[in-house]
A = this chain, B = another copy of it.
């Protein structure tokens, strides 16, 4: 009658996500999970190798959901017939901001996660999920008529999205009041506006002579 192994894993992940959201990474405790899930500590370790694996699984779920949200936002605009690149990028960024705001505790944990482990096996499911986000942006850029080949467009997508990401995370390093939310959005508007204008005028090809050694 009780829950399947699969179902119990999901229950544990849901609990873990809530814990992370409330108190960040240091709030993810084996005993708390066990208690809330109605199982013993040992059973948690039966489902997952260690707490890192739980944390990773939660993060992947979040990234997955974020991707789905972004795709949905793009599909909405498609349905409304919006093709303007700037609008679509801003909508994508807005989806990102909303997502981060909806997960105030767990999103920082996503970002801070991989730090510290020096070398990892190789290409990761993590990276795959991030690439999915980049691909959405690249798809939007493709609609704009900048003279970009595939490589350069992919680079532009990664650049733009990493920038949005930086704005959002920088913004939430400080105290998170509504002032911050406004500042973040102003920055994103400026970034996207300047970025699109810059691409239109060939700024992507303006090479500098100085590189660091």
- Interface residues, chain A, with chain B CB atoms under 8 Å away: 23-27, 86-87, 90-91, 94, 97-98, 105, 108-109, 111-112, 114-116, 119-120, 122, 124, 126-127, 130, 155-156, 158-159, 162-167, 169-171, 173-175, 183, 185-187, 189-212
Q: For residue A193, which residues in chain B have a CB less than 8 angstroms away from its CB?
A: 198, 203-208
Whole-angstrom distance between the alpha carbons of A208 and B197 in the complex?
A: 13
> If the complex has contacts A108-B112, A158-B187, A166-B164, are A204 and B194 also in contact, measured as CB distance less than 8 A?
yes
Task: Output the nearest chain B residue to A193 by Cβ-Cβ distance.
Answer: B206
| Nearest 10 A/B pairs, CB to CB | A166-B166, A197-B203, A194-B198, A24-B116, A198-B198, A163-B163, A112-B112, A108-B115, A194-B203, A193-B206
Whether the Cβ atoms of B163 and A208 lie closer than 8 Å is no
Contact of A198 among B25, B169, B196 (CB under 8 A): B196
Given pairs A23-B116, A27-B116, A166-B166, 5 additional interface contacts (CB within 8 A): A90-B208, A111-B111, A111-B112, A193-B206, A197-B197
**Least distance between A174 CB and chain B CB atoms (Å):** 6
Say which residue of B112, B122, B197, B204 sits within 8 Å of A190 (CB atoms): B204
Report the separation of the CA atoms of residues A212 and B190 in the bound assembly, to the nearest whole angstrom: 15
